[in-house]
């Protein structure tokens, strides 16, 4: 079992809706987490980081960390077609650990 | 903005050739990483370094080697390229936590 798990999707949402991306992690992963967006053929780019329990908001993005349940999520409000990409969850630890990524498709 | 560079961006080379993929960063980051990623597939960590003269293998077995003689430079070498090495190679660096990725090198071995 991977230490950071993500549903590979694809997750399909209509334009303007809220996209919810989830990630679970094992005890061996440290408590800092990062979300990266990767467009097809491009490199991952950091979009959110979260270090403590609760919510962190940045524009249309909200990251949520629940340490008791060992999951971290990313909410994208007012989803746009330009949000269509693969979203990678990383559990920061001595050795970085990435999930497989969730493909998001936002259709007009 | 993160400044991390990779050269070449694209490389097509024949089997058996020795190749070096270059990665440089200007942020003074101690931590640097090499990942391998096939199209539509997950990232695999193949090498990492947490400082000068420090290198470790990642979770994916790789026939490549790396060196870290200068903080800003983390080249990856394949002594004898094979078609199975065809992939995208991504370099990244990190200060305290989050990683910044270079644009990648797309390698094709014929």
Give the largest Cα separation in chain B, rounded: 39
| A96 at interface of B, judged by CB pairs closer than 8 A | yes
C-alpha closest to that of A77 among A60, A64, A95: A60
**pLDDT value of position A86:** 97
Cα–Cα distance measured from residue A45 to residue A83, given in angstroms and rounded to the nearest whole number: 13
Residues 17-56 of A with CB under 8 A from B: 32, 34, 36, 40-46, 49, 51
Q: Which residues of A touch B40 (CB under 8 A)?
A: 40
**CA–CA distance from A19 to each of A22, A46, A65, B25, B88 (Å)?**
10, 18, 16, 34, 28
Confidence of residue A8 (pLDDT cuts 50, 70, 90): confident
Encoded tokens for A23: 């990630």
Q: How confident is the model at residue B94, as a pLDDT?
A: 92
Reported confidence tier of residue A1, pLDDT bands at 50, 70, 90: low
Q: Which residue of A has its CA nearest to B96?
A: A92
**A85 chain-B contacts, CB cut-off 8 A:** none
DSSP for residue A70: T
Predicted pLDDT at B74 = 98
Q: Identify residues of B whose CB sits under 8 angstroms from chain A CBs.
A: 33, 39-40, 42-43, 45, 48, 58-59, 90, 94, 97-104
pLDDT of residue A30: 73
Locate the chain A residue with the closest alpha carbon to B99. A46
> Is residue B1's pLDDT more than 60?
no
| Range name among A78-82, B15-19, B52-56, B93-97 with the lowest pLDDT average | B93-97
Peptide bond before residue B47 is cis, with ω within 30 degrees of 0: no
- What is the per-residue pLDDT for B73? 97
Minimum-distance CB partner of A43 among B45, B98, B103: B103
Distance CA A32, CA B95 (A): 14
Residue numbers in B near A46 (CB within 8 A): 98-100
């Amino acid at each position: 079992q991977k230490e950071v798990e993500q549903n590979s999707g694809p997750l399909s949402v209509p334009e303007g809706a809220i996209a919810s991306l989830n990630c679970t992690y094992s005890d061996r992963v440290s408590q800092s987490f990062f979300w990266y967006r990767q467009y097809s053929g491009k490199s991952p780019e950091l979009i959110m980081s979260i270090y403590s329990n609760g919510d962190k908001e940045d524009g249309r993005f909200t990251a949520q960390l629940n340490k008791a349940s060992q999951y971290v999520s990313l909410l994208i409000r007012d989803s746009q077609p330009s949000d269509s990409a693969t979203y990678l969850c990383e559990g920061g630890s001595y050795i970085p650990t990435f999930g497989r990524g969730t493909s998001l498709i936002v259709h007009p | 903005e993160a400044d991390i560079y990779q050269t070449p961006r694209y490389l097509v080379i024949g089997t058996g050739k020795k190749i070096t993929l270059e990665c440089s960063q200007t942020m003074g980051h101690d931590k640097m990483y090499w990942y391998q990623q096939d199209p539509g597939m997950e990232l695999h960590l193949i090498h990492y370094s947490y400082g000068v003269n420090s290198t470790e293998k990642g979770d994916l077995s790789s026939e490549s080697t790396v060196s870290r003689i200068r903080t800003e430079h983390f080249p990856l070498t394949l002594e004898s390229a094979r078609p199975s090495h065809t992939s995208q190679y991504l370099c990244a660096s990190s200060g305290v936590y989050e990683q910044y990725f270079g644009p990648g090198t797309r390698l094709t071995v014929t």
